[in-house]
A and B are shown apart, each in its own frame.
Chain A
């Protein structure tokens, strides 16, 4: 029998039809209501020419519409391409084109919508929300639900059929689209459910974007069991988040280290009645042990799960059981149920304790590969093992500790950012001769972005102009926070930039206007 997220949704609809599935602001949708909408959307797509395996892009903030669209596409046999809503049109159009998407479900007030549609993409737009905007090939979201609800026809899904592509970086050249099958998603969701023990009585306040694998796993784990997801799309005002957790009596909360740091910066969990809160999860980089201790002190009855994962592994690869949090301080734990995780040396042999190697993973959650990029796929999946690029060691009990990352990716808040992407945008300015972008330590975000720039001879660069160019072409979180102008970049004799020196040495300021 084939497995898919749709089986899990079906079972939740059968068992808990009147449970609230998703709440956003003052609107909620029950499982049976969600299912009817999913069927309507699926039927609409099929009637309008969607064939099995066709890609459909989503450019939607976390919302009830997002959930309907995601499952509606799967039910129609389509492939979900959930796009990062903070991204600017140049990467969005690149991803839409690269995935050959035929449809785009998009927030009608998305600031990049016009630019995307002016870029000669041949795509059908479904506009969610009201707007005065007029573009070609556009249909209003409401049109989909005008006909009476119809039962969904049977759909043949194979385990290895493609279900979703998650783009992990923009950049020029080959965008990296992680291909996830129905089996990948189903398997990883079931593993997570096993150790988090989420049930239909659970409800989570979700602040993480669904277009990332972490948020994606939160969405599907709760839908799978008939749980409730309360959406809050903004962490600007931490007190509001905690009040919402109290008011909605949520049992779960998930974040990246910066989420917890922000919440604890100016508020105290203990000031709120969070008696229903059962567990919290943290992934997306190492959280400062001091912050974990503080959290545990304030919420001693709440289970705190440290987790580790990668989009290439669908979402989750390892977790540290809450009862090991103090004993195995700083560890990411061990493999989640039903997958293999090993620290391996360069020859693919398992490392002994205290010897650093690369974390490798094997299991039904490992991606099919990168979309249209078999070469890069071969580099990261060898003999069935996914090479994560993360360096780590075992302790004597085979708990895993991260030692470093072998890639240059910057991890800032919930985001993984390619320095190359930012460098390419900065180099588009005629005034710049050379640039190197690095991540520097930041108390709240883990890392923040620093650009070190060599201007062309005798040219003075206006910093505002430079940052404005970045903002126009990059998601806001990719705009450098620190900009240094220097006479030259430190390099090895072979001409490679010594990135570590950009972080550690004091750089002479130059022409900073």
Chain B
């Protein structure tokens, strides 16, 4: 399973309560689409930290890194490559 599929699967299962992949586009903004609330984003961060062994620094908690599946994939890639 690719990184993108894993993250999309997590969001689908825990916030949209479906396994229908078409329910979420990887470019969809969590903020604009109202997919996550403020506690949801913290849970996503814990998921990223636990599953991908990445430490999300406080300064990195910004929409540019975490507001869509695509942005999270890019962020994790950047962290793991650094």
The interface of chain A, by Cβ under 8 A from chain B, is 86, 111, 234-240, 258, 262, 265-267, 413, 444-445, 464, 467-468, 470-471, 476-477, 479
The CA of A266 and the CA of B67, in the complex, are separated in Å by: 17
- Nearest chain B CB to A426's CB is how many angstroms away? 13
Residues of B14-52 whose CB lies within 8 A of A: 16-19, 30-31, 34, 36-39, 41-42
Interface of A is mostly: helix
Contacts of B66 in A (CB 8 A): 237
Q: Are A236 and B37 in contact (CB under 8 A)?
A: yes
In the complex, what residues of B have CB within 8 A of residue A479's CB? 17
14 contacts between A and B (CB under 8 A): A234-B31, A234-B38, A236-B30, A236-B36, A236-B37, A237-B41, A237-B61, A237-B66, A262-B38, A262-B42, A266-B42, A267-B58, A445-B39, A464-B17
Q: How far is the CA of A298 from the CA of B14 in the complex (A)?
A: 35
Cross-chain contact A444 with B62 (CB below 8 angstroms): no
Measured CA separation A240–B41 after assembly (Å): 14
**B61 with A476: CB separation less than 8 A:** no
* B62 x A239 contact (CB < 8 A): yes
Which B residues are in CB contact (< 8 Å) with A267?
Answer: 58, 61
Which residue of chain B has its CB nearest to the CB of A111? B34
Contacts A267-B58, A413-B39 known; 13 new A-B pairs at CB < 8 A: A235-B38, A236-B30, A236-B36, A236-B41, A236-B63, A237-B66, A240-B63, A258-B39, A262-B39, A266-B61, A444-B39, A464-B19, A468-B17
Are A468 and B39 touching (Cβ within 8 A)?
A: no
A240 and B37 contact, Cβ closer than 8 Å, known pairs A464-B13, A468-B18: no
Collect the chain A residues with CB atoms within 8 Å of residue B31's CB.
Answer: 234, 236-237
Task: Out of B17, B42, B58, name the residue touching A444 (CB < 8 Å).
Answer: B42
A189: min CB distance to chain B, Å: 28
How many Å from the CB of A478 to the closest CB on chain B? Answer: 12
Q: How far is the CA of A236 from the CA of B15 in the complex (A)?
A: 14
Expressed in whole angstroms, the Cα–Cα distance for A265 and B16 within the complex equals: 25
Q: B residues touching A (Cβ–Cβ < 8 Å)?
A: 13, 16-19, 30-31, 34, 36-39, 41-42, 58-59, 61-63, 66-67
The 9 closest A-B pairs by CB, nearest first: A467-B17, A468-B17, A235-B38, A266-B58, A236-B41, A262-B38, A464-B17, A236-B31, A236-B38
Question: Complex formed: what's the CA distance from A467 to B14 in Å?
Answer: 9
A55 CB, min distance to chain B CBs, angstroms: 27
- Determine whether the beta carbon of B37 is less than 8 Å from that of A265: no
Residues A476 and B62 in contact, CB atoms below 8 Å apart: no
Residue of B nearest to A464 (CB): B17
User: Contact: B63 with A237, CB < 8 Å?
Assistant: yes
Nearest CB of A to B49, in Å? 12
Q: Does A476 lie within 8 Å of B37, measured CB to CB?
A: yes
- Tell me the complex Cα distance, A468–B13, Å: 10
Whose C-beta in chain A lies nearest to the C-beta of B59? A239
Chain A minimum-CB-distance residue to B42: A265
Nearest B residue to A479 by beta-carbon distance?
B17
Q: Are B58 and A477 in contact (CB under 8 A)?
A: no
Closest chain-B Cβ to A254's Cβ sits at a distance in Å of 16
Using known A-B contacts A237-B62, A239-B62, determine if residue A464 contacts B18 with beta carbons closer than 8 Å.
yes
Which of A266, A444, A479: most chain B CB closer than 10 A?
A266
Contact A240 B39 (CB under 8 A): no
CB-defined contacts of B63 to chain A, threshold 8 Å: 236-237, 240
Distance between Cα atoms of A266 and B63 in the complex (Å): 14
**B13, B19, B39, B66: most-surrounded residue (chain A CB, <10 A):** B39
Contacts of B61 in A (CB 8 A): 237-239, 266-267
Cβ-closest chain B residue relative to A265:
B42
- Chain B residues, Cβ within 8 Å of A445: 39
Shortest distance from the beta carbon of A435 to any chain B beta carbon, whole Å: 17
- Asked whether A239 lies within 8 Å of B38 as measured between CB atoms, the reply is no
Q: How far is the CB of A425 from chain B (nearest CB, A)?
A: 13
- Bound form: Cα–Cα A315–B41 in Å: 30
Q: Nearest Cβ in chain A — how far from B19, in angstroms? A: 7
CB B44 to nearest CB in A, in angstroms, measures: 10
Measured between C-beta atoms, what is the minimum distance from A134 to chain B in Å?
A: 22
Whole-angstrom CA separation of A471 from B67 in the bound complex = 21
Closest chain-A Cβ to B13's Cβ sits at a distance in Å of 7
Residues of A within 8 A of B62 (CB): 237, 239-240
Chain B residues with CB below 8 A from A476, complex form: 34, 37
Output the nearest chain A residue to B23 by Cβ-Cβ distance: A468
CB distance from A160 to the nearest CB of B (A): 38
Cα-based distance from A86 to B35 in the complex (angstroms): 12
- Chain A residues with CB below 8 A from B19, complex form: 464
B37 touches A477 (CB 8 A): yes
Specify the chain A residue showing the minimal Cβ separation from B19: A464
Query: Which residues from chain B contact A258 at a C-beta distance below 8 Å?
Result: 38-39
Q: A237-B61, A266-B61 are in contact. Are A471 and B39 (CB under 8 A)?
A: no
